[in-house]
Structure 1
Amino acid sequence: MIHIVRGIMDHKRFQGPSAFLLLTVAVALGATAVTALESGDEGALVLMIGIREHVILLGWLALAALTGSVLLGLKKSSLRTPLVTMLLVIGAPTLLLGGLVSAAFGGSDEEVATESAPGLGDRRLLVVARSSVLDPVRCVYVDQGNSPLERRWTVGCFNGDSEDNALIKTVWTAPDRIRMTTAEGAVHEVTIAPSGRPDRVVSVG
């Protein structure tokens, strides 16, 4: 894809402000998608995590913009048809496959509880029901900072396949401490550093 973009930009017959604008949009969308995918998990920007959930849509928009830029910018070039064909033959099946994989193994997680840390408006805990796994899993996260620089850290995950391991209560016991309680009464406490990073990640079940 990068080589195709460079080839379009270097071609002498590429012309028209609309074509260049579409090309710029395609590059921006592609770069955003790649950045979101490579942002990692622990300490990742919450903004990038949200974008990652819509990366297939970004891919389709980038493909549409790039195809449009070729059609508009290379009207008098013999490269126009081959480039459009290449884009559609490579891009469309790849995005369709990605969409199928995402639908089969992904899905939007459900936020079931949230609570700000006492005395700290830029720190909150978040309890999420994971939809990408078969077993009933709930994970606890800490979001630290303010948008758009807010970051997310994993505090713990609880597999409720066994009822005793199910997470039933999550509370702040201090501005830098979270207590998580399971159905069988097991208590797990985690301390949060000033950066938002927990001192450990609890895994139950």
Structure 2
Amino acid sequence: MRPFTLKSLYEFLRYIGGGGSVGEDKRLRELWRAALNLGFIREDGSVTERGLRFVSAYERGDGGSIHELFMEALEPYRVVYGLISRGVTQPSELVALSGFNAVVVDVVLRLTREVERLGMPMRGELWGMFEKVLFDKYRELARRRWSKYVTILDLLEEVKRELRFPRRVVEEMFREFVARRKGDIVLTGSPAGEVAGFEIGGRRYVYIMLKT
């Protein structure tokens, strides 16, 4: 697996889609192999439906859709991200547990950071899925703890694990959810700051109650 960035892959697909040729250019040939392995182009150089989805997602700044594409098509990304979502963060541990070498793990880590920086648009099918999972996980935690108030950080961890979205994306979507659904939400702090909180609008909250 050769290194590539979201930008270089995007520019390559636009170049190839516009009729450009690879020739003997070493970097273009590496990007060709990467795009082919991802299923973003065919052997004849035409851009696939999956490749067009990537181009569209990149242009929209839709990190969530790109994350989904990589989870579907890029095994190292899927395996390494699965380990990260379970709390494995040290590169040496990721190498040992994933079975991939340090170069591959480093490429995946850089891709996950790029996806997180790109962010996710708060609309459409992904937003609906986020809301559904958020409410489902809230109900599960509330039943498990016999309380309508659940800790925000626990809730977000459950949502992240279910959706397999990057943490930053989940946190951004949760803040947007709070802004959209103010009438359905009660947020509270913790007496004496005993429990870690989550910052929203410059204030730290610990517990959430959803009117479901």
Q: TM-score, structure 2 length as denominator?
A: 0.28
Q: Choose between structure 1 and 2: higher helix proportion.
A: 2
> If you compute each CA radius of gyration, which structure gives the higher value, 1 or 2?
1
Structure 1 or 2: more strand by fraction? 1
